[in-house]
Amino acid sequence: MTNSAILPVRREDVFVSLCFPEAPSTPEDVDIIAAATRMIAETFRYFEVLIIARIDQDADGLLRRCLQKCPNSRVIKVRGSSLHYSRRVVAASEAIGDVVVITSLSEVASLDMTVLIATAIERNAVTVFTQQSRSWTTPILALLGAASRFRISANDMRTIALPRAWLNRLLAHPQHNLALRFPPLGEGFPIHHMPAGSLPPLKTIDSARGRRIGLLYQLSVNAAPVVLIGVGVLSATVVMGALLYMAYAVGALFLVANLQAGWFTTSIVQACTVCYLGLAILGLSMGLQKLLEYLAPRTHETIMEEMSNADLFADVQDLNISVDVERSHRLPGGTLDDPDRASLKAYPVQ
């Protein structure tokens, strides 16, 4: 039996980038990265492994072991990027694959990366592993995610596969650090969730209480457009109330016989003050909303699929290359005069 019959057929039509936004801290982490690399290498011929490390903080010895044990691996050291989401952006920006997988050391050993990549290629969609999770922050995250226009779920794991076309759009998003972790809502991103199956509870960075509180704050800041809309509506309501109160004070001046001295003046001053403040806040909120609108990504209708029977060159017969094949003649006795000769002659198209 030949070697080609023994070895599995590896895909050669896809270049895969496997990214680790965190550097190994123990020899066990190096073995985890090596095992994930072997899994990818068994299925895909062309691949790379990216490890994002912090300069002067992560162990160089473990990084060198990764380079020795993992073929096609790259270690990228960054300065001043201690946040996990920022390192994910660095990994996605430096990856050159057709499909980019961003994962973590705590999850990659329990997941099948090849199935994730194949699904992302087949569906041409952002593919995320999901796992059932219970947390008190789940409804709060979902509410803030809807307000800040991000698809946030505590069930989504940190392992995600991104086809190149969608990765480029996510990197162009103003909040790309969050967009690479939680795909934006209402911008045409196809999302496919893959159940991770029955796995032991995984301790992820996002599950830490401090990390989640920080995420809640960041989402609250990104919910500013929705908050500004609420402030604008409230300001408009206050202005309308002030105008109605002003009309009430003028009506009372002419209709009430025994009006207390100074009441009309005080009411008019209060109504004008409230109306002015309401208009000022309304104008500020509208101006800020316009600025945020300019900063928001310009999204149009996304072309998901095309079906066509057009063949523009089906009826083209004019060629500027002519192929002349000269066949040899067999001599008496069964020998060949010359091997077959083929010559290419170029003629101008008439």
| Phi, psi angle pair for 47, to nearest 5° | -160, 165
Q: How many angstroms separate the CA atoms of 10 and 42, rounded?
A: 7
b/e for 312-345, b at 16 or more Cβ within 10 A? eeeeeeeeeeeeeeeeeeeeeeeeeeeeeeeeee
Predicted local confidence at residue 209, as pLDDT: 61
Cα distance between residue 118 and residue 107, in whole Å: 18
Render each residue's pLDDT in the chain as its tens digit; 350 residues: 334 334 457 888 899 999 999 888 889 999 999 999 999 999 999 999 999 888 876 678 888 888 888 888 888 888 765 677 888 888 999 899 999 999 989 888 888 899 999 999 999 999 998 887 666 666 777 777 777 778 777 778 889 999 999 999 888 887 788 888 888 877 778 888 888 765 655 554 455 566 667 666 777 777 777 788 888 899 999 999 999 999 998 888 888 878 788 888 898 999 999 999 999 998 888 888 778 767 665 544 444 444 444 555 566 566 555 555 555 455 555 554 554 444 445 455 44
Distance CA(269)–CA(113), nearest Å, equals 69
Task: Say what the pLDDT of residue 1 is.
Answer: 39
Q: What pLDDT sits at residue 54? A: 83
Q: What is the pLDDT of residue 148?
A: 74
**DSSP characters for 194-229?**
EE--S-PPP--GGGSHHHHHHHHHHHHHHTHHHHHH
Selection from 178, 192, 29, 204 nearest residue 92 by Cα: 178
| ∠ CA 201-203-209, rounded to 5° | 120
The residues spanned by each domain of the chain are 8-217, 225-295
Q: Does 3.90.550.10 match the CATH number of domain 8-217?
A: yes
Give pLDDT, residue 321: 58
Inter-CA distances, 95 with 19, 78, 109, 124, Å: 8, 15, 21, 18
As given in the structure block, the two tokens for residue 109 are 């050993």
The pLDDT, as a whole number, for residue 307 is 47
Structure tokens at 89: 């952006």
In the prediction, which pLDDT does 162 show? 93
User: Which residues does 204 contact at the CB level (< 8 Å), separation at least 6?
Assistant: 104, 106, 107, 157, 158
